[in-house]
Structure 1
Amino acid sequence: METGKRKMLFDTGGFGQRRELFPRLKAMGHPAESFEIVVLSHAHWDHMMNVPYFSNADIYLHAEDMKFANAKVQDVDRAYPLPYMRDLLSTRHLRCWEGDSTLVEGVQLIHTPGHTPGSISAVVETEWGRTVLCGDTIKNRAEYFSEEYDVRGDEQTFHAGVKRIRALADAIAPGHDRPFDTKSGKYLADGDREPAIIANFEKNIQKESVCKPMP
């Protein structure tokens, strides 16, 4: 996202995205060091493990997720990467807040707890209309249209967050799928996708094999 002169990233992904993420950002003219703001939808490993690479950015994480992770509740939710959380706590770049917040003009951060206590969504105006980047509160298009969600924590709290997103969104960018239109269900991002597994079968870890389904 770019608002005015400030360049922002919503979630950084996990280890699995690292090899593709940085070359793609650079090819788009957005090297990691150019970002001023990184917003984390929540503090699970697959959304925040690449934070250290954005060394010039302020890191925004809801206070409830920081409290939960810092309470050393690994027996409750092992998706919180404790060493990374401690690193976040020690950085001068960390910014936490309670409730909702206006990040900058045109970017509203709303508290949508349930998947984690501090899960948030970002509301922005795009060419698709009002677009909600919602992390894992809504993971994919199938969850949205089936209304069968991967509920974590208190069910009533979770569904209140989902209801809030549904009331706002013309389009949704979910945590594990492409952006889609909330009325038609049409995917909005360009390009086709196909399932594949990238594996390392050789002694040389740089040599990859791509395994695709049989036609």
Structure 2
Amino acid sequence: MDASSQMVERRDIGAQLALRRIPKQERSRERIDEILKVAMDLIGQKGIDAVTMKEIAGRSGGPIASVYQYFPNKTAIIATLYDRYIGQMRNMLAEGLSRIAGPSDISEASDMMVDLYTSFVRSHPPVQDLINAIQADKALADIDISEARQISEMFCQAAAPFVPENLREEFQRTAFVMCHLTVSMVRLAIKVPEREGAQIVSDFKASIHQQLKRFVVC
């Protein structure tokens, strides 16, 4: 995807994430934070489909109008929650990727990305429901794809000095696919018995290592 296409994609997704009303006062920002916290707690307890705007309003201590004041519908809440979650992930990954100083660090960085994501989802169960909702909603599905692309590009930029220039386009596609597959792998790993899940994660990381050998100049 070229730069102009990426800008259009991000602009379209930004429209999905836009608040109905931009908070300017601390009190308004606190109200939005409380709405989002309650929504995430309810998602963890009941699943996204069972959560209603009325329940979110009641549990967050205000009338339903106070929720609609900022969010036009539940889809907007889901999108905003996902945006906050992915922001956390990007920040954590950026710190790890900044340590790539040579070709031998790239496999370690890929392991770090997989382990970090697996640990994050295990310790935040509602996140998996959130991701499932994003993938199932036609209006939001592009968000998940775009974020996988963004994260894979972060990885590729850090690894680029050690990948031959003529292989970088293929490397980017491979990294994009592996980032997208990581989400499915973790979904499976956390549903099966713990020992089996750990082996699935280990096998997946080994398959990434094999892919990296095709590109990384040691």
Q: Normalized against structure 1, the TM-score is what? A: 0.27
Task: Specify which structure has the higher proportion of strand.
Answer: 1
**Which one scores higher on RCO, CA 8 angstroms, separation ≥ 6?**
2
Q: Normalized against structure 2, the TM-score is what? A: 0.26
Which protein shows a greater Rg?
A: 2
